């Protein structure tokens, strides 16, 4: 399943597409939505509601310097993962796609932090009644799904190496 040269070609187009999708949906949310009342899409289960998050995921806030701390963390993540994705040992398709989603999502939220002090634009609200998941955006989907996919790709690699080691010893 390793085809490094062709797998590496998917990273930047997918990362850029994810940033673009995130940017466009956030600007649309800012133009069309107001914080209250939320717009019901699928009953109470899926709603659209404009929220500005000055902290990080799940409302994590580090005081008055949150914007700058998370800006530095996101910048380091984008640069570090993009650099790592270029390496030959990251040439597997799943890892390239996962890394692109993480970089695209982190860059999308980074753009909001650079744009202003209000915070990251969140607008996807899921839950039932008063039991709601924290409001999120397309960038958050990329970071979350990409992180899970990265973990799976590392697990698959470890499993393959263990199997190869066991076969070599036999």
* Partners of 40 in the β-ladder: 47
Cβ–Cβ under 8 Å, residues 153 and 95:
yes
112 is catalytic: no
Distance CA 132, CA 34 (A): 18
22, 112, 125, 140: the active-site residue? 140
How far is Cα 168 from Cα 104, in angstroms, rounded to an integer? 39
Residue 44 annotated in active site: no
Q: Which of 22, 112, 122, 125 is catalytic?
A: 122
Q: Parallel, antiparallel, or unpaired for β 39-42 and 131-132?
A: unpaired
Q: Which residues are catalytic?
A: 122, 140
């Amino acid at each position: 399943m390793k085809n490094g040269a062709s797998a590496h070609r998917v990273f930047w187009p997918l990362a850029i597409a994810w940033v673009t999708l995130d940017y466009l949906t956030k600007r649309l949310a800012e133009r069309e939505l107001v914080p209250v009342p939320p717009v019901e899409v699928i009953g109470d289960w899926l709603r659209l509601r404009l929220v500005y998050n000055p902290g990080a995921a799940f409302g994590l806030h580090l005081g008055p310097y949150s914007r700058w701390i998370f800006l530095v963390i996101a910048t380091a993540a984008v640069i570090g993962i993009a650099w790592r994705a270029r390496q030959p040992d990251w040439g597997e398709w799943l890892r390239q796609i996962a890394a692109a989603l993480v970089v695209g999502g982190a860059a999308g939220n980074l753009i909001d932090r650079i744009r202003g002090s209000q915070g990251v634009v969140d607008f996807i609200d899921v839950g039932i009644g008063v039991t709601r998941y924290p409001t999120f955006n397309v960038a958050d989907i990329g970071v979350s799904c990409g992180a899970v996919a990265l973990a799976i790709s590392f697990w698959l690699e470890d499993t393959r190496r263990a199997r190869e080691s066991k076969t070599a010893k036999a």
